């Protein structure tokens, strides 16, 4: 029996890069997968994950929208709900500090921090309502510990993810819900190529 047989994993930002790799790995271990991403065409990710022989559902999701996030988690009802939520949606822009626009700052904080929070909030709300244990995993970054040049906004957004993760973990610790973060370093993805 595979380790996650019969479980369901929601992966926000699961259509490419680290998120797709996470979705594929869980699928290879038997989990049904719900992939959420802002792109309209999620069929390439759906096909990649379906190749592991488990169920897969895709849902267009802008993680900065509470309504979209609710719809993403609602899609997991196709599998009787979810067991694990992975908040991986993220963006980055690069600029010298003095050239960084307010729009770039706001975008990074909205997607990377607020988006992760909205997903955590919905995941915890649903786990509590069903009275079931669950796992909530946030994608931070190496920059959550050591910011790089030209990305103070991205570093701030990922520092925020770590603080939020620590706070929520303490809040739900006695409810059989764990909240953790991973902090990948440099991984060759489209985001890194940018």
Dihedral sign computed on CA atoms, order 144, 191, 184, 34: positive
**Of 4, 79, 82, 154, which is the active-site residue?**
154
Which 8-state DSSP code applies to residue 111? Answer: I
Token look-up 């190529």 returns 193
Distances (CA, A) of 44 to 3, 9, 56, 87, 121: 25, 18, 12, 20, 28
- What is the rounded end-to-end Cα distance, in angstroms, of the chain? 40
Spatial separation of the C-alpha atoms in residues 138 and 84, rounded to whole Å: 11
Annotated catalytic residue 52: no
The catalytic residue positions are 154
């Amino acid at each position: 029996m595979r380790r996650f047989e019969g479980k369901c994993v929601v992966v926000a930002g699961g259509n490419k890069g680290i998120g797709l790799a996470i979705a594929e790995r869980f699928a290879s271990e038997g989990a049904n997968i719900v992939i959420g991403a802002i792109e309209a065409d999620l069929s390439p990710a759906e096909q990649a994950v379906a190749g592991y022989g488990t169920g897969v559902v895709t849902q267009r999701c802008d993680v900065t929208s509470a309504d979209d996030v609710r719809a993403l988690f609602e899609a997991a009802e196709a599998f009787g709900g979810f067991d694990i939520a992975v908040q991986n949606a993220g963006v980055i822009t690069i600029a010298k500090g003095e050239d960084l626009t307010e729009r770039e700052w706001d975008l990074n904080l909205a997607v990377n921090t607020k988006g992760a929070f909205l997903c955590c909030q919905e995941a915890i709300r649903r786990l509590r309502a069903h009275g079931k244990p669950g796992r909530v995993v946030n994608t931070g970054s190496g920059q959550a510990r050591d910011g790089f040049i030209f990305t103070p906004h991205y570093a701030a957004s990922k520092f925020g993810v770590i603080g939020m993760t620590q706070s929520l973990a303490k809040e739900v610790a006695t409810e059989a819900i764990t909240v953790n973060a991973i902090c990948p370093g440099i991984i060759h993805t489209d985001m890194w190529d940018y």
